[in-house]
């Protein structure tokens, strides 16, 4: 199946986020990825629910909110009210992860858990069946524009196996340093959602053309793989 594409607004022009999301309305973007950073869980600060509410009004795609914050349980309702369709919290930020996941679902959002690069996928074994999304960080969270960590491919493949073993239908999302150089291999390993910030927004041809190119190239490589399988 072709992956969902989720451009990250972290790499958009903050001076005109309305234009950024309106510009993506008819693009190949499936979700809009919204990176929240608190300066505590990660060494950077981005934007919160107020900005989401303002920009959500102008967007056509659902918002995929990635909380890189401590004590995310205190902000779930605020992000849901601001327009989040899915909310992802970090495994490393939640000593009571099961409770937080249930809270997200109770609010009517898709529930996701993100893993930092050093966090093993096996730690999700007892909660995998409760999740809608597992987000695999392919860089250390906190900044856009970093280099993809190659071990992510192995990790995505291991996660796919774990989800099958646990009877979980969670989507595998990959976030950080995603470009057309690694997207094909990620999909082959089992990724269902690709987040891309710099590659989409800083490209010479612009976000719409870059997303269209990603969609075309990934669909072509999937067709080729399916033909090979017969």
Binding residues (CB under 5 A) for Zn ion: these are 35, 66, 175
* Partner whose binding site includes residue 184, from ligand DX5, Zn ion, none (CB under 5 to 8 Å by kind): none
With beta carbons less than 8 A apart as the criterion, state whether 189 and 210 touch. Answer: no
- Shortest distance, position 223 Cβ to ligand DX5, whole Å: 26
| Entry field: residues in the chain | 230
Of 76, 63, 77, 81, nearest to 20 by C-alpha is: 63
- Shortest distance, position 197 Cβ to Zn ion, whole Å: 8
Specify the residue, 32 or 124, whose C-beta has the smaller distance to ligand DX5: 32
Specify the residue, 180 or 225, whose C-beta has the smaller distance to ligand DX5: 180
**Closest residue to bound Zn ion by CB:** 66
Sheet holding 110-115, edge to edge: 4-7, 193-196, 171-175, 133-137, 110-115, 84-90, 63-68, 32-37
* Partner whose binding site includes residue 136, from ligand DX5, Zn ion, none (CB under 5 to 8 Å by kind): none
**Closest residue to bound ligand DX5 by CB:** 197
| Two tokens, residue 136 | 């695999």
Distance CA 209, CA 229 (A): 30
3-state secondary structure of 95: coil
Binding site for ligand DX5 (CB under 6 A): 8, 10-11, 33, 35, 66, 68, 139, 141-142, 144-146, 175-178, 195-199
Token pair 């976000």 in the structure block, residue: 207
Specify the residue, 56 or 66, whose C-beta has the smaller distance to Zn ion: 66
* Partner whose binding site includes residue 142, from ligand DX5, Zn ion, none (CB under 5 to 8 Å by kind): ligand DX5
- Shortest distance, position 227 Cβ to Zn ion, whole Å: 33
Of 38, 96, 83, 89, nearest to 67 by C-alpha is: 89
- Shortest distance, position 130 Cβ to ligand DX5, whole Å: 22
With beta carbons less than 8 A apart as the criterion, state whether 133 and 122 touch. Answer: no
Q: How far is CA 105 from CA 63, 108, 131, in A?
A: 15, 5, 9
Token pair 């990176």 in the structure block, residue: 35
- Shortest distance, position 140 Cβ to ligand DX5, whole Å: 8
Q: Residues with catalytic annotation?
A: 35, 175
């Amino acid at each position: 199946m072709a992956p969902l594409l989720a451009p990250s607004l972290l790499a958009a022009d903050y001076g005109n986020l309305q234009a950024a999301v309106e510009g993506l309305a008819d693009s190949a973007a499936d979700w809009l990825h919204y990176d929240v950073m608190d300066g505590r869980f990660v060494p950077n600060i981005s934007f919160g629910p107020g900005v989401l509410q303002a920009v959500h009004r102008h967007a056509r795609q659902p918002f995929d909110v990635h909380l890189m914050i401590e004590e995310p349980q205190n902000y779930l309702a605020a992000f849901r009210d601001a327009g989040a369709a899915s909310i992802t919290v970090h495994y490393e930020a939640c000593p009571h992860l099961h409770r937080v996941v249930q809270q997200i679902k109770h609010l009517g959002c898709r529930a996701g858990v993100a893993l930092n690069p050093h966090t093993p996928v096996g730690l999700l074994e007892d909660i995998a069946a409760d999740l809608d999304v597992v987000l695999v960080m392919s860089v250390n969270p906190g900044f856009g524009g970093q280099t993809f960590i190659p071990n992510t491919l192995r990790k995505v493949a291991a996660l796919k196996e774990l989800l099958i073993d646990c009877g979980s239908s969670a989507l595998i999302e990959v976030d950080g340093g995603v470009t057309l150089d690694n997207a094909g291999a990620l999909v082959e390993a089992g990724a269902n959602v690709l987040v891309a910030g710099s590659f989409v927004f800083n490209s010479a041809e612009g976000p719409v053309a870059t997303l269209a190119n990603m969609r075309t190239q990934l669909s072509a490589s999937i067709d080729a793989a399916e033909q090979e399988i017969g």
